[in-house]
Structure 1
Amino acid sequence: MRSFSKLYGLYMAWAVSLVAVGGSLFFSEVMRYEPCKLCWFQRIFMYPLVLLLGMACYKNDRRLIPYILPLSIIGGMISLYHYSEQKIPGLAKLLPCTVGVPCNEDYINWLGFITIPLLALIAFILITCLLWMGRTKGEESEEELD
């Protein structure tokens, strides 16, 4: 499994980003769910991943991974905070959304815990793990030489 993820981790991360952006656009454009402020921040970190990972896949260039990982990690932290704000009632009162849709509102709540921020968090975690595993020892030493 380790060698599979080293070979195809970059491509699988791109596929996850495509699904995440597609889901985001489906919820906002088809289902007409208005994104809250935190949803917009998550989109700011997810949407460039489609382009950057797509370029990296096209060129089969894993040297972009160190530049892509911070986007994925920061986006994941925003998703974690957003999910926490939805599930911990007192947290929403600390920094309330004052414009537009409240950030603690659940458009979907499948099985009592699956919400849109959780889906985004899963996507960011998958992208981060796939990219981390997709790095190879040879490429890491090449980066040190550059």
Structure 2
Amino acid sequence: MPKISHLIAWTIALISVIGSLYFSEIKQFEPCNLCWYQRIFMYPIVILLGLSIIKKEPNIDKYVLSLSIPGFFLALYQVILQNTSILEPCKIGKSCSDTYINLFGFISIPMLSLISFFVITISLLNSNKVRSQ
């Protein structure tokens, strides 16, 4: 039976991938450079965790964490970029500080990405903690 933490992380990653494709392909929101980089980190997580669940491979965590942690920091950087004037916005292509959606006054696409990477990372770190006890 696959670990629940892997199922949670895979589900979050899959929803994130489907959401990013929905925003860019159906809603026609043009992704900025930072959004593309976050996709580069998120998309393989779906494949890696999916294969680990199918093959019942428990030792995938360090590989997925090597994608989710940098993805988290990229998303955090973009959230800071969108919400403060501390950092200079991107000048190449689509601006990374643009906001397409703003739910409840603070939930933007980069915030959704940040939450996704955070939940994936915490799920896998918790998985390691449970296994070592």
Tell me whether the two structures share a fold, i.e. TM-score over 0.5.
yes
- Unaligned runs of 5+ residues in structure 2 are none
CA distance in 2: counterparts of 1:7 and 1:34, whole angstroms: 36
Q: TM-score, normalised to structure 2's length?
A: 0.92
Q: 2:106 aligns with which of 110, 113, 128?
A: 113
The runs of at least 4 aligned residues of structure 1 exceeding 6 Å deviation read none
User: Paired residue for 1:126?
Assistant: 119
Aligned amino acid, residue 25 of structure 2: E
Aligned amino acid, residue 120 of structure 1: S
Q: TM-score, normalised to structure 1's length?
A: 0.85
Deviation (angstroms), 1:99: 2.5
CA distance in 1: counterparts of 2:28 and 2:118, whole angstroms: 26
Secondary structure of 2:9's counterpart equals helix
User: Paired residue for 1:101?
Assistant: 94
CA distance in 2: counterparts of 1:99 and 1:34, whole angstroms: 13
Is the helix fraction higher in 1 or 2? 1
Identity level (%): 44
1:75 aligns with 2:75: no
Q: 2:36 aligns with which of 28, 34, 40?
A: 40
1:84 aligns with 2:84: no
Secondary structure of 1:35's counterpart equals coil
